Structure 1
Amino acid sequence: MLDDRTYADDTVRIDATTLTLPRYYFPTGRAKVVQLDDIVATEVRPVGWMTRWRLWGSSNLTNWLPLDFGRPKKQQAVVLDLGGRIRPTFTPDDPDRVVELLARR
């Protein structure tokens, strides 16, 4: 059951300790599971032209986007800084709610 500490849509699931990005790894579609304590920072960015049509993967070798067929219709992306070169980037249905939850951790 979802409560005020959780969030779920087709692109991300957040619970008390983890953030899960379904269909993250290419070509297997396996999920990436991130411990919330491992997130250094989050950022919301507008979905630009290159990101909008990148359904899976990376256009710049820095931001990795999990598979999301709905991305062309979305306006904002959430970028996770995990302290490394690759930054998981995803387009949740409610980016403001995602950032709020991550800020409260």
Structure 2
Amino acid sequence: MESDLIYSDKLVDVDDKGIRLKRYYFPLGQAKFVKFQDIFKMERRQPTLANGKWRYWGSGDFVTWFPLDWNRSGRDFIFFIKMSTQSTRIGFTVEDSKAFIEAIESKGIRIEDS
């Protein structure tokens, strides 16, 4: 329900329960929902070749999965989620990093700088 959203853009939605990563699954682009309670660790990194700046969709190392974002190379941060319920890490970007960080931190999730 849209009234429950505390952050939303073309790439992600954040509500009271978690983060919806839009265009996550290949090839049809269905969304994946990550519950806050399943987040073990969350980081933000500057985009570099080594951490996925040019990875538009999928995985290059079988460790990190990136949902679709054709503009990832121009974003200011790449966020990474390590979940307690799966071994694959999720790397994703948002359109407004400052607003996204405020929304996540308002839910008690700490974002570490790496």
TM-score, normalised to structure 1, is: 0.85
Q: Distance in 2 between matches of 1:41 and 1:99?
A: 14
Partner of 1:66: 67
Post-superposition CA distance 1:36-84 (Å, at most 9, x none): 1111111001111251211100112111100001112113111011123
SS of the residue 1:89 aligns to: strand
Q: Which residue of 1 aligns with 2:87?
A: 85
Q: Specify the SS of the correspondent of 2:103.
A: helix
Aligned-pair distance for 1:2? 6.4
CA RMSD of aligned residues (A): 1.9
Letter in 1 for 2:47: V
| Structure 1 counterpart of 2:15 | 15
Alignment partner, residue 97 of structure 1: 99
DSSP-derived class of the 2:102 partner: helix
The structure 1 segments of at least 4 consecutive aligned residues displaced by more than 3 Å after TM superposition are none
Instruction: Check whether the contact 1:78–1:95 (CA below 8 A) recurs between aligned residues.
Output: no
Q: Quick one: percent identity of the two aligned structures?
A: 33
| Superposed displacement of residue 24, structure 1 | 0.2
Q: Which amino acid aligns with 1:40?
A: F
Amino acid at match of 2:93: T
- In the alignment, structure 2 segments of 5+ residues that lack a partner are 108-114
Residue 37 of structure 1 corresponds to 37
Structure 2 distance, partners of 1:82, 1:98, is: 19
Query: Structure 1 residue 102: deviation in Å?
Result: 2.4
Q: For the residues of structure 1 that align with 2:12 and 2:29, how far apart are their CA atoms?
A: 14
Q: CA deviation at 1:99?
A: 3.1
